[in-house]
Amino acid sequence: MMRVLHLGFEDPQMPGAGGGSVRTHEINRRLAAQGFHVTVVTTRYPGWQERVQDGVHYVPIGFGSGRNRLSRVVAYVARLPFEVRRRREMADLVVEDFFAPFSTMAAPLWTGRPTVGVVQWLHAEDKARQYKLPLHWMERLGVRKHRRLISVSQGIADRLTGINPDVQVDVIGNGVDPAAWIPEPRLGKDVLFIGRLEYGHKGLDLLLAAWSRCCDRVNGDLLIAGSGPDEARLREAIRDAGLTHRVRMLGWLSGEEKFRALSNARLMVVPSRHETFGLVAIDALATGTPVITFNIPCLREIVPPGAGWLVEAFDVDAFAEEIAIRYAQPGLEQAAALGREFATGYNWDALAAKQAQSYIDSLAALSDAHTDQRRPTTHERA
């Protein structure tokens, strides 16, 4: 069976790990159960350990303990080509997960093996503005070096083919954790946000502004669950806005605790400026909690009419009004039922089967191309 070397960047056991690492593990553990040999190379983090989890071999790389994101990124980028060279003789296919801040390291140029990119993140332009560095040019170069990609949404697929018209993109979304179906849906009291605490990217500034405009029309509190680099900034913004009595920070939630919080909420809010999929929205729908989000690519694909509501992008007043209206709306139970029905289409087993087939097709196509490139020309044979 196929041997896969997956350049995964983020370890799902790392505190604060995002939805991308969840997807990586959920797909890979199913591939391992089918007989694939999967090794995932990730960054180090405090408490890291090399291990086999659900049949997937995790190898954290870097220097030291990886105490902060900058040190993790720098060490990962520096060590990754060396680690791939060490391991590529044991790999049939290399899979490169795109990651912040520049998406891709143009892995097909240096892996020495057929290489596929998995795109769950494509926001280098925003990071370029944030850090005043040409990170978006690195992203464009890397995308152009790939011939086969897997995207988690059609919106991202369209952007990829806009950068590289010759690339083939298979769209394979994210799935719902089976644990999401366990809690009984209930019409709760509070409004919930779950995600990485990145102030601008996740729209936490927009959420606080909207909440300050509507909280006097809502009986419950705003609950914010997650961790991330901007936690201190967020807490300060809550204090400055005079919202400490109406906003509660829950910390990082996972597993049963996360799904219980989702099922207990009255509404889920996803105020992101950018998303590549929006796994937390699907999780909310699966638990029977309606979703309010901005009308942006990717999120509009996974919030169906009747189960959630799309607000004009980044209109804080409209977002606040939507929260207030939907909070008091009668018949939210019907929205919950529609959301759960919609979420049944996001099944990890079916998605893993699609990804396995994509790997098989990509390996055949990329291996044939590699053979053609090495075959001597008529002039060389003469």
The residues, any chain, with a CB within 8 Å of residue 44's CB and separated by 6 or more, are 60, 61, 62, 63, 64, 65, 66, 72, 75
The residues, any chain, with a CB within 8 Å of residue 229's CB and separated by 6 or more, are 69, 197, 198
Residue 11's pLDDT is 95
Residue 376's pLDDT is 56
For the cut 60, the answer to whether the pLDDT of residue 72 exceeds it is: yes
> Could you read off the pLDDT of 312-369 as tens digits, one per residue?
999 999 999 999 999 999 999 999 999 999 999 999 999 999 999 999 999 999 997 6
Long-range contacts from 165-172, C-beta under 8 angstroms, 24+ separation = 167/143, 168/365, 170/354, 170/358, 172/351, 172/354, 172/355, 172/358
Instruction: Report whether 230 contacts 199 (CB < 8 A).
Output: yes
Burial label, 49 (beta-carbon count in 10 A; 0-12, 13-18, 19+): exposed
3-state SS string over 220-241?
CCEEEECCCCCHHHHHHHHHHC
Please give the model's pTM, rounded to 2 decimal places. 0.82
| CATH 3.40.50.2000 assigned to 3-175+347-374 | yes
User: How many Å separate Cα 20 from the centre of its chain?
Assistant: 4
Alpha-carbon dihedral sign for residues 179, 184, 185, 191: negative
**Which residue type does 30 have?**
R
Alpha-carbon dihedral sign for residues 134, 158, 347, 107: negative
Homologous superfamily of 178-343 in CATH?
Answer: Glycogen Phosphorylase B; (3.40.50.2000)
In angstroms, the CA 140 to CA 120 distance is 15
For the cut 90, the answer to whether the pLDDT of residue 225 exceeds it is: yes
> Could you read off the pLDDT of 159-180 as tens digits, one per residue?
999 999 999 999 999 999 889 9
Q: What Rg do the C-alpha atoms of the chain give, in angstroms?
A: 22
Residue 272's pLDDT is 96
Spell out the domain ranges in the chain.
3-175+347-374, 178-343
- 148: which 2 tokens? 């086969």
For the cut 70, the answer to whether the pLDDT of residue 208 exceeds it is: yes
For the cut 60, the answer to whether the pLDDT of residue 377 exceeds it is: no
- 346: which 2 tokens? 């996001």
Q: Is 52 helix (H, G, I), strand (E, B) or coil?
A: strand
Q: 9 — alpha (psi -120 to 50), left (phi > 0) or beta? A: left
For the cut 70, the answer to whether the pLDDT of residue 257 exceeds it is: yes
In angstroms, the CA 49 to CA 192 distance is 33
Decide if 3-175+347-374 and 178-343 have a common fold.
Answer: yes
- Only one residue has tokens 């018949």, namely 331
> Could you read off the pLDDT of 74-106 as tens digits, one per residue?
999 999 999 999 999 999 999 999 998 999 999
